[in-house]
Chains A and B, each alone.
Chain A
Amino acid sequence: MNFINSDKIRKDFPILQRQVNGKPLIYFDNGATSQKPQQVIDVINRYYQHENSNIHRGIHTLSQEATNAYEKARTTVLQFINAKHNHEVIFTSGTTGSINLVASSFGKKHIHAGDEIIISTMEHHSNIVPWQMLCEEKKAILKVIPINDKGELLIDEFKKLLSPKTKLVAVTHVSNTLGTINPVKEIIKLAKTAGAFVLIDGAQAVPHTKVNVQELDCDFYAFSAHKMFGPTGVGILYGKEAILNELPPYQGGGDMIKTVTFEKTTYNELPHKFEAGTPNIVGGLGLAAAIDYMNNIGIANIEAYEHELLSYATEKIKKIEGVRIIGEAANKASVLSFLVDGTHPSDIGMIIDKLGIAIRTGHHCTEPLMNRFDIPGTARASFAFYNTKEEIDTFILALERALKMLL
Chain B
Amino acid sequence: MNSIKETQQEIVEEFALFDEWMDKYEHIIELGKDLPLIDKNYKTDENLIKGCQSKVWLHAELKASKIIFTADSDAIITKGIVGLVIRVFSNHTPQEIIDADLFFIDQIGLQEHLSPTRSNGLLSMLKQIRMYAIAFSTKADA
Binding site for B on A (CB under 8 A): 21, 343-344, 346-347, 349-351, 354, 361-363, 376-377, 405-406
Do A405 and B53 form a contact, CB below 8 Å, given A346-B75, A346-B77, A354-B22?
no
The answer, among A346, A351, A406, for a CB contact under 8 Å with B53, is A346
Interface string of B16-36 (1 = CB under 8 A from A): 000001100110010000000
Selected contact of A343 from candidates B52, B53, B76, CB within 8 Å: B76
Cβ-based interface call for B120 (8 A): yes
A361 to B53, Cβ gap below 8 A? yes
Interface residue? B70 (CB, 8 A): no
Q: Which of B21, B25, B26, B120 contacts A346 (CB 8 A)?
A: B120
B22 touches A362 (CB 8 A): no
Residues of A within 8 A of B74 (CB): 344, 376
Q: How far is the CA of A167 from the CA of B54 in the complex (A)?
A: 38
Question: How many angstroms between the C-alpha atoms of A253 and B53 in the bound complex?
Answer: 39
Q: Give the shortest distance, in Å, between B43 (CB) and chain A (any CB).
A: 15
7 contacts between A and B (CB under 8 A): A343-B76, A346-B54, A362-B52, A362-B53, A376-B55, A405-B29, A406-B29
A354 adjacent to B78 (CB under 8 Å): no
Known: A362-B53, A376-B55, A377-B53. A344 touches B75 (CB 8 A): yes
How many Å lie between the Cα of A362 and that of B74 in the bound state?
12
Nearest CB on B from A349, distance (A): 8
Smallest distance from the beta carbon of B110 to chain A beta carbons, Å? 11
For the complex, give the distance between the alpha carbons of A347 and B77 in Å: 6
A284 to chain B, nearest CB (A): 29
Q: State A351–B53 Cα separation when bound (angstroms).
A: 14
Tell me the bound Cα distance from A346 to B56 in angstroms: 13
**Cα distance A350–B113 in the bound complex, in angstroms:** 10
Alpha-carbon distance A51/B120, docked complex (angstroms): 44
Residues of chain B lying within 8 A (CB to CB) of residue A350: 25, 77
Number of B residues whose C-beta is below 8 Å from A? 16
> In whole angstroms, what is the CA distance A346 to B120 when docked?
9
Which A residues touch B78, using CB under 8 A? 346-347
Q: Contact at B75–A347, with CB atoms within 8 Å?
A: yes
Q: For residue A363, which residues in chain B have a CB less than 8 angstroms away from its CB?
A: 52
Kindly supply a per-residue 1/0 record for chain B positions 71-85, scoring 1 wherever the CB is within 8 Å of any chain A CB and 0 otherwise: 000111110000000
Chain B residues whose CB sits within 8 angstroms of the CB of A344 once the complex forms: 54, 74-76
Decide if A406 touches B76 in the complex (CB within 8 Å): yes
Please, which residues of chain A bring their CB within 8 A of the CB of B22? 354, 405
**Minimum distance in angstroms from B68 CB to a CB of chain A:** 26
In the complex, the chain B residue whose C-beta lies closest to that of A344 is B75
A405–B25 CB distance below 8 A: yes
Measured CA separation A72–B24 after assembly (Å)? 54
**B35, chain A: closest CB distance, angstroms:** 14
- Closest Cβ of chain B to A30, distance in Å, is 19
Contact between B120 and A354, CB atoms less than 8 A apart: no
A212 CB, nearest partner CB in chain B, Å: 36
* Distance in angstroms between the alpha carbons of A363 and B119 in the assembled complex: 12
How would residues 37 to 71 of chain B score, 1 for a CB under 8 Å from any chain A CB and 0 otherwise? Answer: 00000000000000011110000000000000000
Set of chain B residues within 8 Å of A377, measured between Cβ atoms = 53
Q: Which residue of B lies closest to A363 (CB)?
A: B52
Nearest neighbor of B21 in chain A, beta-carbon distance: A354
Residue of A nearest to B55 (CB): A376
Decide if B76 touches A347 in the complex (CB within 8 Å). yes
7 smallest beta-carbon distances between A and B, as pairs: A344-B75, A346-B53, A346-B75, A346-B54, A347-B77, A347-B76, A347-B75
Residues of B within 8 A of A354 (CB): 21-22, 25
Minimal Cβ-Cβ distance residue in A for B78? A346
Set of chain A residues within 8 Å of B29, measured between Cβ atoms: 347, 405-406
| Bound Cα distance from A362 to B54, whole angstroms | 8
* B120 CB contacts on chain A under 8 angstroms: 346
Name the residue of chain B whose CB is nearest to the CB of A351.
B25
Q: How far is the CA of A405 from the CA of B24 in the complex (A)?
A: 11
Q: Which residue from chain B places its CB closest to the CB of A367 in the assembled complex?
A: B52
Distance in Å from the Cβ of A165 to the closest Cβ of chain B? 36
Q: Return chain A residues, CB-CB under 8 Å to B54.
A: 344, 346, 376
Minimum distance in angstroms from B104 CB to a CB of chain A: 19
For the complex formed, measure the closest distance between the CB of A123 and the CB atoms of chain B, giving whole angstroms.
18
In the complex, what residue of chain B is closest to A354 when comparing beta carbons? B21
Q: A346-B75, A349-B53, A361-B53 are in contact. List 7 more A-B contacts (CB 8 A).
A: A21-B21, A343-B76, A344-B54, A347-B29, A351-B25, A351-B77, A405-B22
Residues of B within 8 Å of A21, CB to CB, are 21
B15 to chain A, nearest CB (A): 16
* Cα separation A21 to B109 with both chains bound (whole Å): 13
Chain A residues whose CB sits within 8 angstroms of the CB of B119 once the complex forms: 362
Give the complex CA separation of A347 and B54 in angstroms.
9
Least CB distance, B20 to chain A, in whole angstroms: 10
Chain B residues whose CB sits within 8 angstroms of the CB of A347 once the complex forms: 29, 75-78
Taking the closest CB of chain B, its distance from the CB of A352, in whole angstroms, is 11
Write the nearest CB–CB distance from A61 to chain B, whole angstroms: 44
Q: How far is the CB of A351 from chain B (nearest CB, A)?
A: 6
